[in-house]
Structures are given as structure tokens and as C-alpha cells.
Structure 1
Amino acid sequence: MRLADKFDRWVEDGPFTSEDLGIYRIIYALGALLVAPDIAWLSDYPDFMFRPPPGPLQLLSGFPSPATLIGLEVLRSVILIMLGLGIWTKYVSLAAWFILSATYGVTFCLGKVDHTILLTLPPLVLAFANWGNCFSVDALRRRSESAGQAQWPLRLLALLIGWGFFAAGLTKALTGWLSFSSQASRGYFVLGFVTQDRTHWLARWIAEHDVLAAWEVVDWMTVAFELSVLISLPWWRAFRITLAVATIFHLVVLLIMNIDFSHAVVAYGAFVSWGATARRISSSRIGRSGLRVLESRRQLLTGAGGRILLMVLAIAVGAGAWFLMVSPTGTISTGPIGSNLIIVIGALIGLTYLTFEARAAVTEIRRQRAGSAEQPVP
């Protein structure tokens, strides 16, 4: 078999189904609503601080007006709600990518570029995976059997995520991050603790128990993790295990350094077998009870009443996301709630997956040992 044929088979090999992507589309839309930032405050900055990154934002002469920024937030919420409902999914996905890129691009105009690009990648790539074929208004309209799920968009998304982490890890390795004479992670921790009020969760305890050797281990583990994401790409199982470890890594970073990587956790969700998880939940006692309740309320979800219910639900979700985004309670910081919740849930899912993988590995080892013990000795 030619190398090109092997590559084609590898690209199209994968475990993901239309149900997986349909459920993930809804989860992604909700997650993006929760973690997308408030940007109206940017209009308070003077234009001399406007330093746009390379790209179309350089066409602007300064920060947009408050009305423009609020309009962008409203439009972003509407598009994400439409994406979750699965209305004109492919085109709305591309619109979601564009408006999220514009959202984060404007925040980068203060001179600091973050890793939030990972949140913008799924709608751009999965628009071509037809992730609106299940659990969507589009699917109800068509009412036709869909073709087999294309796997190459998932490979492409995995490559983009892996390359982003690989570039970050390689940069660290080449710029002295691994030097034994300094602890780079400790430097970031101290900077955030002293100047950025990153003093929550375990930060104060870590500051009181400052161990240089532990920080050096963190430096090496960080680089090893970031490089491993791309290295594990050829094997779906290894890649998913690496992402499961990543969710726990992000939770530790949140607890110690108060750094939010919820946007990355939302992107990792594309590689979860949501359909299998939903089937397992539906077969449980609680799941069967929930299905019976939904079946008894089926009429509420059809016709004009169903459309009104969906509209009310969409408005409620959008209002809740706005509440968390702009922190309207003043003294109580509601903004990080959604992001922190996503990181915690992601870590729980990752830990559960690792537990299942470890149990499967132990079972396989025991099976092989039992098989070898039954073989007669020559």
C-alpha cells in the first residue's frame, strides 16, 4: 500500500459519530457563551494604547465605541444560541468563528495575546464535519438519513490543538524555561500573586510553602505536557488520554496560579464520545426516569408551543451567560464562575476517562496472564 493511501486511511479512521458531534455542538455553544469575555470596557482605554496584532484589526485607528462593542457581544450571543439549536449550522458555525475571533482580537489590541484561539477553532473546523446532522433544527427539517460521519475534520482539529501546544512547549524549551538556575513557573506565579491579585484557591498556601525543587519539576512537566499533545496525535487513544491528563493539569493550574484555561477545555470536548455517554446515562435508572418525563411532555416540544419554549430557553441561556460575563452584582465577582465550573467538570470527565482506561489496561493484563498460565509447558 502506498504511503498516500495509508495517510488517507489514517485521516478517515476515528471513533466519532454524528451523535457525538451533535451533542458536542450544544455543549460547545453553551461553553462559549459562558467563557466569552465582556469587551465593552475596552472603549474606556485611550487610543494611544491601541496596539492591534497583525491582521485586519490594524485597519482600525483606535478602540471601537461602547455601542459597537456591546453590539458585538449581543450578536455573538445570538449566533452561539443559533449554533446550539442547530439553525443553518454550517454558516452559523463560520459566523461563530468569525465573531469569536473578532472578540478576542479586540482584547489582544492591548498588546497581550493569549491562548484563547483554541476556543475559536472548533466551529471553523467542525462546520465541515456537519456537526448539525444530529440534535438540531436542521436535522428536523431534513428528516433524511445522513451519510457516515467524516473523521478528517477531527484529525485536523486535533492537529491544530496539538501544534498550538507544541509551539508553546518548544518556545519554552528554547528560551531557558528548563534552566536549573531559575524557575520560570515560579516567576509567573509570583508576578500574578503580587501584581494581578491571583491569590485565590491554593495560591496563598503555595506562597507560604515555596519549594524551588517543586517549581523546577513543574517547569519540566509543563514543557513535557505541551510537547506530548502533538506527539500523541497519530493514535486516537493516546491523544484522548493526553487530553484527559490536560484537563487535570488545567485544574491544578487554576487552583495554584489562578490562570483560566477553560477555553482549551471546551475545545477538548470535541474528542469525547458524548453519544456513548448519553446512551449509558439513558440506560440508568435516573436516565430512564428522565426519558419517561420527556416522553410525557413531548407535545410541549412540538408545534408553535415548542418554538416558543425554545425561544424562552434561548433567552434564558443568553441572559444567564450575560449575567456571568459582566459581573452585574458589583462586589461579587460572577465572571469567573462559568469558566471555573467548566474546568472542574472537564477535570472530572478527564479523571473518569483515565480511570476507565486504567481499569481496561489492568483487565487486559490479567487476561493475558491467565491465558499464558493456561498454556501447557513444553
Structure 2
Amino acid sequence: MTAARPPPTLRVNGDRCMVRHCVSWLFLFGSVALGIATVLHFDFDPAPIATHFLFPYYALCTGLQYVWPETPNRFERGEVLTDVLHNLMLIAVTGFQNFVIHALVALTGTGLLFQYGVLSDAWAAHHLPLWGQVLVAWLVFDFMFYVTHRIGHEVDFFWRLHSVHHCAHRLSVLNASRAHPLDLIWRRIVPVFVTFQTGVSQEAFILSGVIGSVLATITHMNVRFRFGWLNYLIGTNEIHRWHHSNRIEEAKNYSIVMLWDHLFGTFVYPQGRRAPERLGLFDERHYPLHGFLGQQLVPLTWARMKARRAREDASLAQPGSMAATPAPGGLAHPAGAPQPTAAP
């Protein structure tokens, strides 16, 4: 007897899944390859790299969200304006970040541990070929990105800043830049400065930075990518959705490449579920979800939001009052803090 053939619908769905995987992988690795080629073509000059690759790539990724969306592109009131203002602010903040980084490197130099004899100069990354330096730069930068990102979630003061990035109810390329300027500054300056202390060349750092920019943009794309087992290695958009879950136990996956999350036990990829039930803050009552100015003032209004929530919860807990219902949203406080009134 011959084995029964699978129904036509199963074969079609399987073929579609295979095509989707191929397209996803081709887009990711093709983007990385094109970015590397652009860096080499323009001889590591940041200005033409940004003009001829990064900006067009950003626009392409934004457009793909309307061609092949994972979730419907429904905008909440004030969402687009808020995200546009955040992107404009990012331009100014990036200029300030670069100024501070150049000033620090000029004052302290690179490879401080080698300069002062703490480590032998033989261990300095500049002795490696370019691709070896790129690997060192990538591993060190991503480790420091993991550390600062996790601090941003688990330390109350830094969560006040980082919560701005998590107040959106969906992922998109446009809201990838939604962040408090102080959060942007410290979480970039620290990883960059530490990376330069390994002795890597500027060329290696630029090359690794472009690769990182490609991957970081993909993490926020609202596109129906399917990366399969690659999700266990790289923080794709399928993985990053869990980082934005409103459930604290799911909101992990802090690094860009999943190495550090695997090592420190913070990798989250539930089987049998495509995405979290909801994205956003744990308790978003009184939080300025789509108010640009209000989001910049969140560190100052944090205590007031906590107090208002505490009064509301106390009122609901009194005998005769209606039972409290879970607030919409998620992750409004660092892990381990009391729930639900510990923080906005």
C-alpha cells in the first residue's frame, strides 16, 4: 500500500510557509550583505553610508509594513505625530551622543586597560584582522547593550526613562525611535565607550554598527516574517514582540543577538504562540501614551502617577466598591517590584 498523500490545503500551506521562510532569510541576510558592501564601497565614511544605505533602508522597511503586515496598520489618536517627533528628536540626540563619545575618546583614548598595563597590549583587538575586530566589537557592544537594557527594565530610576519606549501598543519601524532622550544617551554612550576600550579600530566599529542597525530595524518591523530556528540566534521581530509584552515574565530578550539572553536565562520564545496577548505597559493608567511632551516629563510625573493609581486602587478595595479590574497595558515597573501600584 502506498502512503496517503496529504490534503492539497496542507501542501499549499506548507509551500507558503517555506516561501515565507526563504523570503525572510533572504531579506535579512541580503540587507546585511548590502550594508557591508556599502561600507566598503564608501571606505567607511559614515555620511555617504547613511545617505546611500541607512536612510533608504529605513524607508524600505517602513514601506514593507504596508505591503506585508503582520498586524493591521491601525493608528491610535496622536500615535503618528508622537512617533514622528521622536524620530526628529533622535537626529538631534544622535549628534549629541557622537559629540560626547568623541570627547570621551579624545580625553581618555582607547584601550585604557592596555595603556595602564592592566592587560598586555598583545590582547588588544587592533592586532586582529578587520573581521576579527568586527566580531570583538559586536560581542562587547551587544553585551553592554544587554546589561544597560536589562538595567533599564529592572532598576526603577532607569525604567522611568525606558518605559517611554514600551508605551506603544504595537511594533513598527516608526516607533522604534520612541524613547526618552536620557535613555537613548546613556544606553548608547556606555556600550560604545566600553567597546572602544577593547582597542578595535574605527573601521571595525562602523562596520559592526551598520550590521547592528540593520538587525535593530528588523526587530521592530510589522512584517509577516518567519525566521524559523534563526529566532534562537538573532533578535528578529518575532522575538522582539515578546520583549514588548505586557506580562513581566515574558518581557525579556534584551540583546540583539540572543547569545547573552541564553547565557543569563532571559531568552523567551513560547512555543505554540505567535505573539503576546498584548503589548505595552503593565498599568498604563494616567500614562501619556501618545503625548510627546508628556513622555519627556515622565521622570518628573512618575510619583504623581503612582500616587493617583494608589488612591484608585485603595478606593476600589474598600468594602462596597466595585471589584478592581486589571488595567490595560503592561510592564509599568521593573521586575520584582510590587504590583500593580509600584510604578507607572
TM-score w.r.t. the length of structure 2 is 0.27
More helix by share: 1
Decide which structure has the larger Cα Rg and report it.
1
TM-score w.r.t. the length of structure 1 is 0.25
